[in-house]
Amino acid sequence: MASLRDQLGGLVYSTEQGKTCPSCRESIDDCCCEDTSEQARIANLDGIVRIRRETSGRKGKGVTTISGIPLPNAELKTLAKTLKKRCGTGGAVKDGIIEIQGDHRETLQQALTSLGYQVKLAGG
Ligand SMILES: [Zn+2]
């Protein structure tokens, strides 16, 4: 039978260490799981940034997603901010993918191309 600690699976407290990471059991300060997964994500990219419009299960115009940008999360967020401003809309960053509300494929393609990325429009 699994211990309560294993069942919880999320962040757990230990009186000695404070918060510990559920993956590596290191304290959060020593943990580098996030960095490692970030590096793995970036290493797996093929250098092509893909822009895709997604409407399924979403209201109205849907969103434009940008995947494959070889940047760590902090810089992705900064880039997302710039792109949202450029499109005059909202958006978010999820799992290394930038989501921009509405259909802004052309604007985003131009913006990213001017930043030096190799950009491909994917899907419909
Ligand atoms: Zn960890």
Q: Cα-Cα-Cα-Cα dihedral of 110, 90, 65, 117, to 10°?
A: 30
Sorting pLDDT into bands at 50, 70 and 90, what band is 1?
Answer: low
Condensed to tens digits (0 to 9), the pLDDT of residues 70-98 reads 999 899 999 999 999 999 999 999 989 99
CA of 54 to the centre of ligand 1 (A): 33
Q: What is the pLDDT of residue 117?
A: 96
- Note the CATH number of domain 47-121: 3.30.780.10
CA of 29 to the centre of ligand 1 (A): 9
pTM above 0.95, yes or no: no
CA of 38 to the centre of ligand 1 (A): 12
Contacts 24+ apart (CB under 8 A), 1-7: none
CA of 27 to the centre of ligand 1 (A): 8
Q: Write out the residues surrounding ion ligand 1, Cβ under 5 A.
A: 21, 23-24, 31, 33
Domain limits, CATH 3.30.780.10, in the chain: 47-121
Q: What is the pLDDT of residue 95?
A: 86
Condensed to tens digits (0 to 9), the pLDDT of residues 7-52 reads 555 555 544 557 889 889 888 888 999 888 888 999 999 999 999 9
H or E element that contains 118:
strand 118-122
Lowest mean pLDDT: which of 3-7, 37-41, 58-62? 3-7
Whose structure tokens read 């997302």? 80
CA of 34 to the centre of ligand 1 (A): 7
